[in-house]
Amino acid sequence: MSGCFLPARLSKTGSKLSKRFSFGSSKKLHVDPNEKNGLVVCFGEMLIDFVPMEAGVSLAEAPGFKKAAGGAPANVAVGISRLGGSAAFIGKVGNDEFGRMLADILIKNNVDNSGMRFDSNARTALAFVTLRADGEREFMFFRNPSADMLLREAELDVHLIKKASIFHYGSISLIDEPCRSAHLAAMDIAKKSGSILSYDPNLRLPLWPSAEAARKGIMSIWNQADIIKISEEEITFLTEGADAYDDNVVLEKLFHPKIKLLLVTEGSNGCRYYTQEFKGKVGGVKVDCVDTTGAGDAFVGGVLNSLAADLNLYKDEKKLREALLFANACGALTVTEKGAIPALPTKQAVLQILPK
């Protein structure tokens, strides 16, 4: 089996959020909009992943598929909620059975879905995921266009965005209009209301018109983010072939003066971290890898859940390392099951698998 990793130990992190909310399809959080209460608002796509029941075969050869909710920003929102945090999702799905199913999944996972919109003229996006023998993925998307691409600025839940302690997003929502303009407007609202901006580019090259368009689009909002999570492969892509393992490459080409925390995930080898004051690496321990779908999102959810409970976490290296160990565990547990959202762990599950 391919080796995926869990952290060797887990120190106790800061206190978790204790305030819980009950969400419904049209309910708002009953929070003073002038206060920040650890809410993480995730913006972008939510879709249906079809994952083969058998690894190492092509889509044509797959004997069957397991249907699972997916979409990186939605995965992160559910990941945070599963860990006991407070999360909301903003995005658009089709006014169809899949779209309504996704909205219900958010409710069942205690994620505020009041920022979701439904499009009667476009379908919910679908993605067929090929699992190679080593558990890595290849994607085939059905978006021509899908509802997530059609979110308009006028449809944004401004009230919800302003309540975010952290506003998290990816780059897929930057590819097409009108969603790109809605994305940029949402970032502006969040920034002006004092939210921390969190960015995971989540490169999906087949969705972009070209590699150059992807590079330009992803980097167009790079310097606005306070927190960025990026993979080794994305470093190589964005720097056009530079050594992803070279700290100088990261610091010279991707670090920017206003960034609070830059995280580089190394899959089975853990992660690296860079702040204005220090840098380092957190490793892990092996687990059996079944499906890597959602592992990065689980990691991000783990990080943002800890950060939402302590917004100054990135300033304390000891606390940061503890949070990253926990986040590595979240990612590793996710690869032991098929699909993204179904595999995202609870805090209790993470603690149970770690050495005492």
Active-site residue set:
297
Measure Cα distances from 255 to 90, 167, 328 in Å: 28, 20, 22
Backbone φ and ψ of 245, nearest 5°: -95, -5
**Cα(135)–Cα(56) distance, rounded to whole angstroms?**
8
Helix (H, G, I), strand (E, B) or coil at 222: helix
- Number of other CB atoms surrounding residue 245 within 10 Å: 14
The tokens of 136 are what? 């890595």
The residue count for the chain: 356
* Contact present, 333 and 343 (Cβ < 8 Å): yes
Q: Are strands 261-265 and 271-274 parallel, antiparallel or unpaired?
A: antiparallel
Residue that the structure tokens 């990135």 belong to:
314
- Number of other CB atoms surrounding residue 342 within 10 Å: 19
**Cα(5)–Cα(25) distance, rounded to whole angstroms?**
37
**Got the DSSP string for 5-74?**
EE-S-----SPPP-------TT----S-TTS--SEEEEES--EEEEEESSTTS-TTT-S-EEEEEE-HHH
**Cα(11)–Cα(148) distance, rounded to whole angstroms?**
39
